[in-house]
Structure 1
């Protein structure tokens, strides 16, 4: 059984791979429409920019900025700023823009995790917390949120056990009165 933590990097890898494939198709269409002169010009531009084609990084940064504007920092899964910025860092580990944006968004993102815990959306809170830990696993705020999440899970278990005991008592009383 795979955990939600291990599937998050796989989802991001799938998103990145899909975007790279989309870029390849778009590049092929552009080359076909504009002939080899346009392709030579584009490769010359990439060489002038340091020999590195970072259009995938640029697209991910744009998607992340849009997600921040729309207040999608850690949710929904697969379409949030943190996942996009972490994907940028997978492609370009030294990307300063992604690192700065992740740091800047952290207080609001951690508040979103706490809100999910308070709303008893414990699985979603676990996913979001894992996403934040992927960026900064040593942050004490994440440790506190992890403790709060564990405590909330224990409360949920006790409430479920109490409800089960009530139902069992009602069923025992009902079957006893039928005999």
Structure 2
């Protein structure tokens, strides 16, 4: 029982045809998926579409480019996207961009804390808590803020005690 050379050649030819057909099907499926994703019209509002939401999205985009994630007050990414969500609660662009900006915004809050501007850090932290009130990173930053407030209060108390001691010694 030997296999003839023509049968082996037929099997190889059949295998080649099956593999080529599989590649064509997979390639076609990928092309179709890619085309479907990129041909889907944008839902809702977009920046510069003239609507209130569009204007807010444009302002938020500019704030993001300028790295104004949580500051200055009234002109930052989070406040603009929160305004978008007040006008259009299901706006996917605003929701996605808030999520994307969250970690860098946490880094800004941490930098503000490290810089010693505790009131500004409190404001920025409150802004981020509106987005995700139960986030562990925000809980940690809140703890750092509380600890720095305690240190600041003790420093002020020590300074007050020193001044009182000076005044008592001078009288």
TM-score (norm: length of structure 2):
0.70
Larger Rg: 2
Q: Which residue of the partner structure matches residue 81 of structure 1?
A: 77
In structure 1, list runs of 5 or more residues that go unmatched.
1-48
1:140 shift after superposition: 0.6
**Bigger relative contact order, structure 1 or 2, given CA contacts below 8 A and separation 6+?**
1
124, 134, 137: which one pairs with 1:138?
A: 134
How many angstroms apart in 2 are the aligned matches of 1:91 and 1:100? 16
Q: What SS does the aligned partner of 2:110 have?
A: helix
Q: Which residue of the partner structure matches residue 109 of structure 2?
A: 113
Q: Which residue of the partner structure matches residue 103 of structure 1?
A: 99
Q: Deviations over 1:63-91 (max 9, x none)?
A: 00000000100000001011000110111
Higher relative helix content: 1
1:56 shift after superposition: 0.4
How many angstroms apart in 2 are the aligned matches of 1:54 and 1:70? 22
TM-score (norm: length of structure 1):
0.67
Q: Which residue of the partner structure matches residue 171 of structure 1?
A: 167
Q: Which residue of the partner structure matches residue 122 of structure 1?
A: 118
Structure 1 residue runs of 4 or more that deviate by more than 6 Å after TM superposition: none
- How many residue pairs get aligned? The number is 125
Q: What value does the CA root-mean-square deviation take over the aligned residues?
A: 1.6
